[in-house]
Amino acid sequence: MSNTPSRREFLGTAAAAAAGTTLALTPGASAAAPARADAGPLKLGIASYSMREFPLTQALEMAKKVGASYMTFKDVHLPRTDPPETTRAHAATIRAAGITIMGGGTITLPNDPAQIQKDFEYAKNAGFPLIFVAPDPAALDTIEEMAKTYDIKVAIHNHGPEDKHWPRPQDAYAAVASRDKRLGLCIDVGHTLRTGTDPVQASRECRDRLYDMHVKDLRVKTDKDSQVPVGRGLIDFPALFKTLIDIGYQGQVGLEYEIDAKDPLPGILESFSYMRGVLAAVTA
């Protein structure tokens, strides 16, 4: 018999977490800010792409409201075109806000050694311990060399059926399994589901090279436009979180909220509260 709580068993815990967040946002409410999500066996965080319509300072304010202390960053917030000193200053601003920088991307890496080196220099200046990437397969030798030189992990991001190179996590895993340990993968659970692949099983199969994870939820298994706040869709997050704990996953479990771009905070809060509730339930 599985030890993973059912949706019904953890619903109360998740609902309580969500209720606390909602109260904190109610005008006139005196509730404290949400608890930080940096305690426990998983690092719950946020991909800054979730706040892509807002400048860095507002993105950091949203993360504070959610109680997140881990983030990965899209170049809309740390532009790759900025001079190195500006990138380093932005990284300092992020750290001063109490955020641990877990990585950045997605970065498209062509088979161009000079461009690849430039992107690794950017990652170093941004303080990224990891970059998640969409690479040309022909570029992997150069990427491996740069990963060693800069000691930065590289996680290939799967993008579902439309991705001609890396639709499933297993496709990325096959390409890096025999390479330097700095090369691994970022599982996007929504894109994974759309390929007919179980994100839970993919996490187990790729566990020794799983370095990052993007979290979203879908109402329709094959429809990328059916994204909903996490917990309202089809993905079995209790089983996923329990599996991540079982395999000793150390990377970020990063909410990538891609809908409601102009007003993402309500959906981010709901999703993150649900994620906290699920984590509390599976570790109870």
28 found inside a domain: no
Tell me: pLDDT of 31 over 90.
Answer: no
Q: Which residues of 1-35 are buried (b: 16+ CB within 10 A; e: fewer)?
A: eeebbeeeebbebbeebbebbeebeeeeeeeeebe
- Residue 24, domain member (yes or no): no
What average pLDDT does range 139-150 have in this prediction?
98
40 pLDDT tier (thresholds 50, 70, 90): confident
How many separate domains does the chain show? Answer: 1
Q: Which domain range does residue 241 map to?
A: 39-282
> What is the structure's pLDDT at 35?
52
The per-residue pLDDT for range 248-263, each reduced to its tens digit, is 999 999 999 999 999 9
| Confidence grade of residue 3 (pLDDT, cut at 50, 70, 90) | very low
Residue 25 domain-assigned? no
Q: Tell me whether residue 23 is in a domain.
A: no
Residues 141-154 have a mean pLDDT of 98
> 1 lies in a domain?
no
What are the pLDDT digits (tens) for 189-234? 999 999 999 999 999 999 999 999 999 999 999 999 999 999 999 9
On whether residue 19 sits in a domain, the answer given is no
Alpha-carbon distances, residue 276 vs 61, 233, 265, 269, 271 (angstroms): 19, 16, 16, 10, 9
We report the CATH number of the domain holding residue 227 as: 3.20.20.150
Q: Is the pLDDT of residue 38 over 80?
A: no
Residue 10 lies inside a defined structural domain of this protein: no
The model's pLDDT over 118-137, given as tens digits with 9 standing for 90+, comes to 999 999 999 999 999 999 99
